[in-house]
Amino acid sequence: MKLKPLKKQTLVITGATSGIGLATARMAAEAGANLVLAARSEEDLRHVAADLTKRGGKVATVVADVARIPDIQRVAATARERFGGFDTWINNAAASIWGRLEEVSDEDSRRMFDTNYWGVVNGSLEAIKHLKQHGGALINLGSVASDIAFPLQGQYSASKHAIKGFTDALRIELEEEGAPVSVTLIKPAAINTPFPQHAKNYMDREPQLPPPVYEPEEVAHAIIHAAQHPERDVYIGGGGKMFSSMNKHFPKAMDFMNAKATMKMQTRDEAPRHPAGSLHRPEVRDGRVHGDHPGYVMKKSLYTRASLHPVLTTTFAALAGGVLVALLSGRNSPDNSASE
């Protein structure tokens, strides 16, 4: 399957006014792509669109709640009206809740699933109506939490597990019928975005992301890559891949580590800033790509970059190995020994 170069594409991005969605929109705009951006806040969309237009992108915006099918249908209709359709659909909108499972209300849990899981389902099923006819990429944002469970974010982890199951099943069904659609699941580790401030917080302290933490541009880079090159799964961060593998092979050890360490690593020593967050409505203003994680944040993941370019990485590794062997062989040759 061949996908178009980014400069010839129209991208639909949900949750486009902050964090990963905004970072992706900026990269795409700078590459000359057309953009259809969806979010709940008209004000935030207006500010983001003005900035992206300056970066070279052609932008259409849609005030939409991904949990509502009519809103998602309007997003697709806007893409057709403004740009004749779309080539890549990115389901990025997400919400979270920090708190013990016994404390979280049924109303909050259902609202989060409406956004995280049903938002992805609604977007995916609408997107493939067009993509099956014209070809292109569907990119869903899962998480390392698609593979492992994070205490204090139990419902979030459950929603990301559900996204993985849905995405994998949809990919298989599309492959069986020969549809020209690339389906990618992106699995970020913790990412330094305003995500904790947008979450509903039941705790008596401000939440924070557990390490390792990466910058959102690393996720955006992977999304942009998947929009042009078919990928199945992309882990963002070697740390996330390591934890996923450990959970698969040593689940009891991971449970022990999470119980003893991860619980403590998810709180700051300060009072909650926005306990209600933006779970039910966009109360916390958007427009920022980066969060204010207090610990070390990695700008790039060598693991992720290598996984996206395996042939090139293998070639460089082989060349480096060959040079090393040649150097060692030359150092140990009889002529060199004599001259020394």
Catalytic site residue from 156, 202, 214, 235: 156
Q: Cβ(56)–Cβ(50) under 8 Å?
A: no
CB atoms within 10 A of CB 306: 15
Q: In sequence order, which residues have a C-beta less than 8 Å from that of residue 82 and are 6 or more positions away?
A: 34, 36, 60
Q: Which of 47, 50, 45, 42 lies closest to 16 in space, CA to CA?
A: 45
Residue 156 annotated to the active site: yes
Residue 198: CA count within 13 A, CB half-sphere: 24
Active-site amino acid positions: 156
